[in-house]
Amino acid sequence: MKHDQSLGSQLVGLSVLVQRRHAQICADHCLTPAQAQLLCMLKDQPRGMSELAGLLGLAKPGLSGLVDRIERRGLVRRETPEHDRRAVMLHTTPLGKETVDALWADVGASLPDILDVLPAEDRVHFERMVTAIITGPGACGGGC
């Protein structure tokens, strides 16, 4: 068996493969991957800008712009809590919720296709290992 790539570069290859497909699915829903990730983190609870910037691994100005663009499209809404008028809580709108639900349904339905090359019992094993990796130490919450 040929083995001319390091495990590191194979992981990058897998990641590129997944991200290309993911970007295509996002585009089908008129979203960018960054917007999809942001929406996903707001799906179940509103969050403040600083918290979100941390979760997404972004600097705050970058998040401000990201939020501007999807707020313009009516997918999220900025709200100022009374107890701290510096802060902003970000909520999804009903349209935003609907959009992100439809997106993740598609992601769940078509991304796992890339595992079709594996025999069924390997797919189950693979899934367990991926779960361990993304919930282990070093996980960044990026996948939402």
List contacts with DNA (CB under 7 A).
Answer: 32-35, 48-51, 56-69, 78, 83-89
- The DSSP string of 69-92 is HHHHTTSEEEE--TT-TT--EEEE
How many whole angstroms separate alpha carbon 35 and alpha carbon 30?
Answer: 10
Q: Which option in a copy of itself, DNA, none does residue 104 bind, with CB closer than 5 to 8 A by kind? A: a copy of itself
In the complex with DNA, the residue whose CB is nearer, 84 or 122, is 84
Chain residues 10-29 in contact with a copy of itself, contact rule CB under 8 A: 10-20, 22
Report the nearest approach of a copy of itself to the CB of residue 24 (Å): 10
Report the nearest approach of a copy of itself to the CB of residue 65 (Å): 19
120: contact with a copy of itself by CB under 8 A? no
Q: What is each CA distance from 112 to 36, 90, 92, 123, in whole angstroms?
A: 18, 31, 27, 9
Report the nearest approach of DNA to the CB of residue 79 (Å): 10
Q: Is 79 exposed, middle or buried (0-12, 13-18, 19+ CB in 10 A)?
A: exposed
